[in-house]
Chains A and B, each alone.
Chain A
Amino acid sequence: AQKVTQAQTEISVVEKEDVTLDCVYETRDTTYYLFWYKQPPSGELVFLIRRNSFDEQNEISGRYSWNFQKSTSSFNFTITASQVVDSAVYFCALSEASGGSYIPTFGRGTSLIVHP
């Protein structure tokens, strides 16, 4: 079973729309870490945010916000007033304490296309 599920394969919006990318995870650990990465059309992978399992505070960074809910095992990412430059593939990842290595497992990614 997938440990990180990004059910939205592709989302298409028009500029200035708000968009939420869903991430649902599965773990038995009480200590774990969640991440979001961005992969723009140029192909590089860029770290956006990390969150540990003991910190359920939502986070906002400019137009980006993240909603972490342990009750639903979700770590959703919202882009407010989307822009063409937000077009990218976004990956959610889970790093678990068990096993000791903290090598993350990635979801399959959501491709976001923002039309002008």
Chain B
Amino acid sequence: NAGVTQTPKFQVLKTGQSMTLQCAQDMNHEYMSWYRQDPGMGLRLIHYSVGAGITDQGEVPNGYNVSRSTTEDFPLRLLSAAPSQTSVYFCASSYASDNSPLHFGNGTRLTVT
């Protein structure tokens, strides 16, 4: 019963460093997505994928890359971290049906100094 697994839970980066946030799900969900949560801003969609090999941009994609080589994994890459990317990041997955709710990971708290 792993569900959606995100690693790491916490990360501190220096400006300009790169890193990858990992996300894996074991529910055979077609849809996967990344959100960032900032105070007063709710959850904003960064990138999403409707299936292996298919990705698309969300509301705030700049500074982030994604790929979906398998159904299970959807990593989020920060190529050159900036202080504006300090946030809590959530990965989510769901079935490809119109009313399927999202299953969320436990989040990654990222600080960029």
Query: Footprint of B on A, CB under 8 Å?
Result: 6, 9, 31, 33, 35, 37, 43-45, 47, 50, 52, 91, 95, 97, 101-109
Contact = CB atoms under 8 A, between A and B. Distances in A.
A101 B106 contact: no
A interface majority secondary structure = loop
Interface residues of B, number: 28
Contact of A106 (B43, B50, B99): B43
16 contacts: A9-B40, A33-B98, A35-B102, A45-B92, A47-B102, A52-B98, A101-B50, A101-B56, A102-B31, A102-B97, A102-B98, A102-B100, A103-B33, A104-B102, A105-B59, A109-B42
Interface in B87-108: 88, 90, 92, 96-104, 106-107
B101 A103 contact: no
Nearest to B97: A102
Interface in B68-99: 88, 90, 92, 96-99
B99 A52 contact: yes
A108 B42 contact: yes
Contacts of B98: 31, 33, 52, 95, 97, 102
